[in-house]
């Protein structure tokens, strides 16, 4: 079986080729459906930055070196290995530690291969989704594009990204905006994409949204980033450039073992800090916090 599907995610081209897979495997990524396109002519042109990922369950992806680190993907750590040619290999495991997929990439992540290991469709989907998310983040880091661990709500045409460690209340706060501020809509609840174009930061919906199935092919200029902290009263302040840089660095998918990827992400963060307000909101989980946040960041964007 050989089937290719083509997508455009945040303006970037992604082609997934299914080769030597089980029946039904080519339909695993329903979360990518809003981004599906019908290409005319050659979808990926020579020399352009694009991602091609081949899913091949007969691929020989043998781990060829010692583990150099682990990538935290929503609380599940995936093993990272480097090949002799400068590329990378990943072992994607679920929260129980079961191996769901292995992925191998070339040095710039434009060419990747994935082998699915688990028999259950849900675990195959998990393994392929996580492999795709890492490949996308690392491939397009060179294009002023970053994947952000955030919940993002849109109001008056601008996207507002709530950032914080898992379980702190990002989704709760965007839900409070939705309940208390008319005219809001949720763009993504866990992994939106931020891309700089002509000096302006734009936020995009993505095929990855954590536990909330919010896979929307939408975009908006970034209104602000807001770092959520649980506190006994509601208060907000704009962060200094240094503090803003630190907060964004911990909220974006990165590859600290790869100088190319890491440098691109850092450069993009510096550009974002220069053009977007980054705030810290200490708050209770109530409507007053949402209104205080909106009135502050919307007035100063």
- 22-43, pLDDT tens digit by residue? 989 999 999 999 999 999 889 9
What phi and psi, each to the nearest 5 degrees, are found at residue 174?
A: -65, -35
| Cα dist from 192 to 24, 94, 140, 150, 218, whole Å | 27, 22, 14, 7, 10
**Separation CA 184–CA 9 (nearest Å):** 23
**Other CB atoms within 10 A of residue 267 CB:** 14
Task: Give the 3-state secondary structure of residue 206.
Answer: coil
Q: What is the pTM of this model?
A: 0.95
pLDDT one-digit tens code per residue, 72-86: 776 678 999 999 899
Q: Is the pLDDT of residue 192 over 90?
A: yes
Average of per-residue pLDDT across 191-215: 96
CATH number 3.20.20.60 is the correct assignment for the domain at 145-300: no
Domain ranges of the chain: 2-143, 145-300
């Amino acid at each position: 079986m050989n089937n290719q599907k083509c997508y455009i995610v945040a303006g970037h081209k992604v082609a997934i080729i299914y080769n030597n897979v089980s029946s039904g495997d080519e339909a695993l990524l329903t979360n990518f459906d809003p981004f599906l396109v019908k290409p005319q002519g050659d979808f990926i042109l020579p020399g352009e930055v694009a991602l091609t990922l081949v899913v091949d369950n007969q691929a020989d992806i043998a781990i060829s070196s010692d583990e150099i680190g682990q990538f935290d993907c929503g609380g599940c750590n995936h093993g990272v290995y480097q090949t002799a040619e400068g590329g990378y290999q990943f072992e994607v495991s679920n929260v129980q530690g079961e191996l769901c997929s292995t992925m191998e990439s070339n040095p710039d992540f434009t060419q990747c291969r994935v082998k699915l290991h688990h028999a259950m469709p849900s675990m195959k989907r998990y393994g392929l989704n996580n492999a795709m998310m890492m490949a996308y983040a690392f491939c397009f880091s060179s294009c002023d594009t970053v994947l952000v661990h955030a919940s993002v709500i849109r109001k008056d045409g601008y996207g507002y990204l709530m950032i914080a460690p898992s379980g702190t209340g990002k989704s709760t706060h965007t839900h409070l905006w939705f309940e208390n501020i008319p005219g809001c809509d949720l763009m993504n609840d866990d992994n939106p994409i931020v891309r700089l174009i002509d000096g302006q930061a734009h936020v995009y919906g993505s095929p990855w949204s954590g536990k909330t199935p919010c896979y929307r092919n939408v975009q908006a200029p970034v209104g602000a980033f807001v770092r959520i902290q649980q506190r006994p009263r509601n208060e907000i302040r704009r962060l200094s450039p240094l503090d803003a840089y630190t907060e964004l660095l911990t909220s974006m998918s990165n590859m600290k073992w790869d100088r190319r990827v890491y440098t691109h992400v850092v450069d993009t963060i510096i550009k974002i800090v220069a053009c977007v307000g980054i705030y810290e909101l200490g708050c209770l989980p109530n409507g007053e916090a949402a209104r205080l946040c909106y009135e502050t960041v919307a007035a100063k964007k």
